[in-house]
Amino acid sequence: MYMKTLVVFYSRSGNTKKIAEDISNKVKSDIEEIVDIKNRKGLFGWFSAAMDARSKKLTTIKDIKYDPSKYELVIIGTPIWAGLMAPAVRTYISQNKTKFKNVALFCTYGGSGKIKTFTDMEEFIGIRPLSKFGIREKELITSYEDKLKEFIKDLK
């Protein structure tokens, strides 16, 4: 049995959302999508997203539905942009990090930056995560089940 868990994620392309839904289904958790008010669509959106991530800017996000203080574990997912977490995830963490009891982290990425992103997230949150899981975009097409099982096993 898993502790009371909330999976929170931001997804621009749908990759991080797919992983978040898989995790949520496997651990039987509530799930919350972080919604960035800033338009991140298209080439300009992609470029501004990378620039905002690199400069560690916060953004404006829609109000959240679930209070993370009500959960024993918050699993936070982000795509990697310019080697860092997405601004919407940085904003969510900034607004809620004092409410986290335990955290786990996951990310999706096309290039590199997984270790740098996890280090940045961990330092920003101020809590050592129970588990971390990174999935390359190409692994979404093949298989990531073994990595996902390892990630979830460490949550107990």
DSSP string covering the chain, please? Answer: -PPSEEEEE--SSSHHHHHHHHHHHHHT-EEEE--BSS---HHHHHHHHHHHHHTT----BPPPSS-GGG-SEEEEEEEEETTEE-HHHHHHHHHHGGG-SSEEEEEEESSS-HHHHHHHHHHHHTS--S-EEEEEHHHHHS--HHHHHHHHHTT-
What is the structure's pLDDT at 54? 84
5-30 pLDDT, tens per residue? 999 999 988 999 999 999 999 999 99
Lowest pLDDT segment from 53-57, 64-68, 147-151? 53-57
Domain with 110, as residue range(s), is 5-153
Alpha carbon 61 to its chain's center: 14
Mean pLDDT of all residues belonging to the chain: 91
Whether the CA torsion 113, 115, 119, 121 is positive or negative: it is positive
What's the CATH code of the domain at 67?
3.40.50.360
d(CA 32, CA 13): 16
112-137 pLDDT per residue, tens: 778 899 999 999 999 999 999 999 88
Q: How confident is the model at residue 47 (pLDDT cuts 50, 70, 90)?
A: confident
Number of folded domains that form the chain: 1
pLDDT at 1: 47
pLDDT average, residue stretch 81-106: 95
